[in-house]
Structure 1
């Protein structure tokens, strides 16, 4: 692709949104991006950016105009070879996207989750009891937000216990790789061959239990709903996107409650708010901050012409705090209806596992609500930087039981 200059009226930003300082605190940049206009040109990467809710939502739902098949990261698969076989869910469009999506939607559907609900509620109670019996001061990320998904979700998929510690570093590199090749990508590069090999090995039929999500995906291949070549890639999608995003969503809601004790009191008074709390935390923190699309033709958005083949960077986090869409958007507020947030995407590529994440959050928060009166910080929370994800490295808290 030759060097491109946008039309003179298009606002241009020289800021690197993947700079470590921006990743540490993206909110001021995102506010500037929204204020600059509906579409802004990021000259460092020669991509168009959208930070307002209206344009982000429209791009997410227009798969014909803004394709995923050219990659949902900075790399453009029209011109570059992907570092791994593309995801059949994230990095494919109809018709190639249809069968895998249909199979996974059934595997992760309401009937399957209803079977898991009772056992996950018990698992959450056991974990919370273990944590609280040992201490009332602990790291909410490592002891709860990361521990619970790594406890229940791989079991549901049907992978063995050995090697599960590989899931988070693999996912961390995967989401870093959607951005530019910066220090975060370089940090994960030495191990990615080893980690990818382990993940791929878990996706084979022989590695999976007979009653998990993975086995159901292979059964779909037996029925002819998908091909045998597609089956391991669909299992890989579960292991790639089903852990890190949930860990970060749980960390977000726990951080939100520690920083908003009045909202924790509301959930204690009305535990039915637990589900609303998770979605409000996903809106407020946006664990998935960005995704790319590629224009399939010359498309005009907000008075800006985006040429065919150009990358578009959608700032989901900015859209979820757009005051044009949300009243008092910087507040974590359980009186708000957060439905419509784009934290799980939107349209045909909306996160197929979002209901799994909601169930995990419901189970964990239900166990905490029954035992914990207050949550407060005992130190300064620390971010874990990632090119795509808004993550916490550590959220040290003290709880009062009651």
Structure 2
């Protein structure tokens, strides 16, 4: 019996499971190989296909072979077998990469794109950081060319460089006054060789007024030439004398005022000594009921009077506000009219050329006029008055095509001084 029992025990051994009373024993002695193997297979499916097999579509799992096997065999023959390391590197996982940190929201993404766009524009404009980089000078191209002047003319035009292709644009507003101002102004009708008497007199009066104004301006400034302060030192001395006189006058006035103030202070101190006498206090009396009632009535009447006065003031303000509103409306209309007038004047001024450009003004020419005895009897005897070159040059100045300038004459160098001497032949006695 013993031998048979021994053979039966050794024939089929069972797996020892062990005790599982506690959690630690359960974790140690439980077999999880099947679960881990299943999870690993699922992860492999996700890496290769992007999702487990049970979640993928049939089109992703199965392919209908239409081309045949011969073509695939030839392709496989031509293909070279890759190295094992290349196969491992090419086996990319289809599982998306986890996001590290906070995912960029739409607003932050938009700001970043805008910043990148602005940086690109700054680079195009020539900015490197905060400083602007000066671009290199354009290379000058030799446009002369070598050709025979007696041969046939060249078919193509020579490259005139970047300056010929690019023209500077001038705004139309700057050229408006050129269209408004004529190049040649029509002369006054009194300047004709046979003018009417009234028009001729008008022109003579205009010319005489211009000439008289020039003479008056010259006389005005000629009086300053005799001023003693024309020299710098004399002018400083004269100014110092005037300032000293003004200071002396102020000090004399201050002394008079000081004596008056001292006298007033003495008189006020005397009055104060009289007023500082002690006053006797009146004994306090108890008010009767009649007096208290009378004071109450007076206080009530004063309150009613003040309330009535405030109401009257409010009524006046309401009436006054309507008047103020009318005044405000009228002033607004007036200001609008003034604004329209100013705009109109500004438009007219824009059409007119400037009278002054820079430091100097455009010079005004005197009217060319002939006196009554100088007028010719026929057109053949007419002689031109004035200078046509000066008139055309002044027209260019008026239209602001040329800047007005004053002729700067150089200082004349001192003439060499000669000294009269005798020849040495007369002085050298032998």
User: Considering the TM-score relative to the shorter chain, is it more than 0.5?
Assistant: no
User: Which TM class, normalised by the smaller chain length?
Assistant: under 0.3
Higher relative contact order at CA 8 Å, sep ≥6: structure 1 or structure 2? 1
Indicate the structure (1 or 2) with the bigger Cα radius of gyration: 2
Report the TM-score when normalising by structure 2: 0.13
More strand per residue: 1
